[in-house]
Amino acid sequence: MRNRDRDRTGLGFLALAILLSACGSEPRPETPDPERFRRVEAAGPFSVAIPRELSRLPVIGVDTEVDEFGGEGLRLGFSYGMYGSVPLSDGLLDYSTGQMTVDGRRGEWAAFTRPGDVGDGLPHGWVGHVGTPTRWGERRGEPVGLTIYLSCSSRQICELGPEVAATVRFE
């Protein structure tokens, strides 16, 4: 009789632990895409909404899946794989960082200005990174993540970074 009570108590604690862990996860955002954006399938297991005026650019990744889009005063890219992070502040001006949530996963971002003549007319930047383990990454024991990067002609244009990140939907 005592073993049954202990088994029931153990099952009750297990059910409570599962329930509490489910409550601790962040809900998947259900906000609609901004009207001025269009949804695209990007390289990697996700889709994202980007400004309508951007066109896909030719880009080849090494060790990661990459995609890039460009338009007037903006280059927007995605890198999905083992290598990616938010840049360190070394040599960057007006550097600021923060936390973000991308499709229920926590990540971080950095906004900055590149020093000197950058040559491409896009001196401002925004980078967001979130870890997104996949079966491939778990099998190999390697961290896999999504890095979103913007190069912009103005700080104001780079404010699109968080808006774009909020539209990412992993498969």
How many domains does the chain contain in total?
Answer: 1
Separation CA 64–CA 59 (nearest Å): 11
Query: For 76-93, how does the pLDDT look when each residue is reduced to its tens digit (9 = 90+)?
Result: 999 998 878 888 899 999
- 30 falls in which pLDDT band (50, 70, 90)? low
- For residue 18, being part of any structural domain is answered with no
- For residue 10, being part of any structural domain is answered with no
Query: For 39-71, how does the pLDDT look when each residue is reduced to its tens digit (9 = 90+)?
Result: 999 878 889 999 999 999 999 888 788 999 999
- For residue 154, being part of any structural domain is answered with yes
- For residue 70, being part of any structural domain is answered with yes
Query: For 131-167, how does the pLDDT look when each residue is reduced to its tens digit (9 = 90+)?
Result: 865 555 555 666 678 999 999 999 999 999 999 999 9
**Predicted local confidence at residue 61, as pLDDT:** 83
pLDDT exceeding 90 applies to what percent of the chain? 51
- For residue 2, being part of any structural domain is answered with no
**Predicted local confidence at residue 83, as pLDDT:** 77
Which residue matches tokens 């539209």?
A: 167
**This prediction's pTM:** 0.76
- For residue 9, being part of any structural domain is answered with no
- For residue 13, being part of any structural domain is answered with no
**Predicted local confidence at residue 8, as pLDDT:** 46
**Predicted local confidence at residue 81, as pLDDT:** 86
- For residue 89, being part of any structural domain is answered with yes
Phi, psi for 46 (deg, rounded to 5): -155, 160
Query: For 93-130, how does the pLDDT look when each residue is reduced to its tens digit (9 = 90+)?
Result: 999 999 999 999 899 999 999 988 778 899 999 999 99
CATH of the domain at 128: 3.40.1000
Q: Domain range spanning residue 150?
A: 30-170
